[in-house]
Structure 1
Amino acid sequence: MPNEMSPETLATQAQKKQLNKKPSRPKNRPKSYRLSPTQQRGEHYETLAAQYLQQHGLDILLRNIRSRFGEIDLIARSHHSLIFIEVRYRKNQQYGGAIYSIHPTKQQRIKRVAEQLLPHLSAYFFGGVQPFCRFDVIAIDKDGLQWIPNAFY
């Protein structure tokens, strides 16, 4: 076949083309720059919740774990238990406030993410033994911070 290029030549051209592309955005931007004001507020309250839980003896293992099913705000460990924590902030008590904003659909999403992550978390943090798991909620509103262990099953 005329004008057929060798695989090496094609690879070299592809590499040159890739190197000549301009980056879509700078990589050195601070994380807070990429977050919306709502996301920044959420990150702030998740940090407060993590600090509160650490003061009460929990080890925070992971934050903001996402999967195709949803997100879990905090994952913590207490002795032999694995705790999945949803953090909710509400400015006012309209519609029940922070506690009541975790509707059954959100609970199901959290459970699905936890179910997907459990084998990996068990292997990494518990030596392959499946720990006891629970779902807690940290609700933050004008009345302060409220920790609800075993908030849903």
Structure 2
Amino acid sequence: MQFLKKDKVGPTTKARGDAGEDEALAYLQERGLRLLQRNYRTPGRGGGEIDLIMEATDGTVVFVEVRRRSRTDFGGAAASIGHQKQRRIIFAARHYLLQWRQLPPARFDVVSIEAHGPQWLQGAFDAG
């Protein structure tokens, strides 16, 4: 049954995703944002996950979805964040903000890692 084995060539999807998050984190930190938390997950099944939670210099909490795509077909990385994914991110953000005594200003950004480098889309979607 040796023929059924697949040889893995190159990094795994998880490794590529982690590398994309590392690149996005460095990019945002160079622009003055401070990391609050990475890979925040809500407890239980069916919740949400946020790749990076950052704080802008004005105190805004920035929930960042990082996407990496090798091709730009169908709109590239940013276009791959559909309504259902946005709902999960918003759910996780609301859960995260429960720990704050006073709600800070917040927004949802996307950093897409494209062939030519990171693209930062501020206010990519809202919770409304």
| TM-score w.r.t. length of structure 1 | 0.70
Name which of structure 1's ranges 142-151 and 81-90 shifts more when overlaid on structure 2: 142-151
Distance in 2 (alpha carbons) for counterparts of 1:116 and 1:101: 23
Partner of 1:40: 15
* Higher helix fraction (1 or 2): 1
Distance in 1 (alpha carbons) for counterparts of 2:33 and 2:116: 23
1:110 aligns to 2:83 (yes or no) = no
Question: What displacement does 1:88 show?
Answer: 0.2
Partner of 2:36: 61
SS of the residue corresponding to residue 71 of structure 2 reads coil
SS of the residue corresponding to residue 129 of structure 1 reads coil
**Any unmatched runs of 5+ in structure 2?**
1-10
Q: Which amino acid aligns with 1:93?
A: T
Q: Which amino acid aligns with 2:81?
A: I
Paired-residue identity, %:
42
Which runs of structure 1 show a deviation greater than 6 angstroms over 4 or more consecutive aligned residues? none
Deviations 1:17-74 (A, max 9, x none): xxxxxxxxxxxxxxxxxxx811111011101100000000000111011124121000
SS of the residue corresponding to residue 91 of structure 1 reads coil
Distance in 2 (alpha carbons) for counterparts of 1:56 and 1:107: 24
| TM-score w.r.t. length of structure 2 | 0.83
SS of the residue corresponding to residue 32 of structure 2 reads coil
Name which of structure 1's ranges 137-146 and 46-55 shifts more when overlaid on structure 2: 137-146
Partner of 2:51: 73
Distance in 2 (alpha carbons) for counterparts of 1:66 and 1:80: 22
Distance in 2 (alpha carbons) for counterparts of 1:80 and 1:144: 26
Question: What displacement does 1:129 show?
Answer: 1.6
SS of the residue corresponding to residue 13 of structure 2 reads helix
Across the two proteins, how many residue pairs are aligned to each other?
A: 112
- The RMSD of aligned alpha carbons is 1.2
| Larger RCO: 1 or 2 (CA < 8 Å, sep 6+) | 2
SS of the residue corresponding to residue 98 of structure 2 reads helix
Tell which structure's C-alpha radius of gyration is larger. 1
